[in-house]
Amino acid sequence: MTTRLNPYLQFDGTARDAVTLYQRVFGGDVELSTFGDAGLSDDPDARDKIMHAMLTTPGGLVLMCSDTPPGMQHAPFTGSAAVSLSGDDDAELRGFWAGLADGGTVTLPLEVAPWGDAFGMCVDRFGVHWMVNIAGAPTPG
């Protein structure tokens, strides 16, 4: 089996909404299980929270996430890391950018960077930091 590095995001009760957005943005299939499914919570407030979700896209992207487990304190994202998307498919990456930035905050607009690629940074509506780099992107005209 090939070794892979996959982002694994943790949310405080919004994992279902987040993975739904990411599926809309990236396409693909979602597998998920709740704390109730796993028999890890009888608490009505926690039973339907996401224990594990995995989005797998036709292009091979894999993104996993969960809600904070019952009894654990959620540690909010501090901005010291970001999920990076890069490649040379201008239309695909601009579509990803638009979907992630919608309802979020653009911290650096997606535009031609000094190294010649289009590059931008945003924080999505769930607080996840994203960087998008489009190799050899045409100069906007």
Mean pLDDT of 44-53: 89
Q: What is the pLDDT of residues 88-114, one digit of tens each?
A: 999 999 999 999 999 999 999 999 999
pLDDT at 111 (0 to 100): 96
Which residue ranges does the chain devote to CATH 3.30.720.110? 83-134
Domain 8-67 annotated CATH 3.10.180.10: yes
pLDDT band at residue 47 using 50, 70 and 90 as cut-offs: confident
Identify the band that residue 140 occupies on the pLDDT scale cut at 50, 70 and 90: low
Q: Is the pLDDT of residue 67 over 60?
A: yes
Q: What stretch(es) of the chain map to CATH 3.10.180.10?
A: 8-67
Q: How far apart are CA 138 and CA 100, in angstroms?
A: 21
CATH topology of domain 83-134: 3.30.720
Average pLDDT over residues 108-129: 96
Looking at residue 26, its pLDDT comes to 98
Model pLDDT, residue 49: 93
Q: How confident is the model at residue 27 (pLDDT cuts 50, 70, 90)?
A: very high
Q: For 4-22, what is each residue's pLDDT tens digit? A: 889 999 999 999 999 999 9
pLDDT above 70: residue 137: no
Q: Which residues pair with 130 in a beta bridge?
A: 83, 122
When pLDDT is averaged across residues 43-58 and rounded to a whole number, the result is: 91
- Beta strand pairing status for 118-123 and 105-112? antiparallel
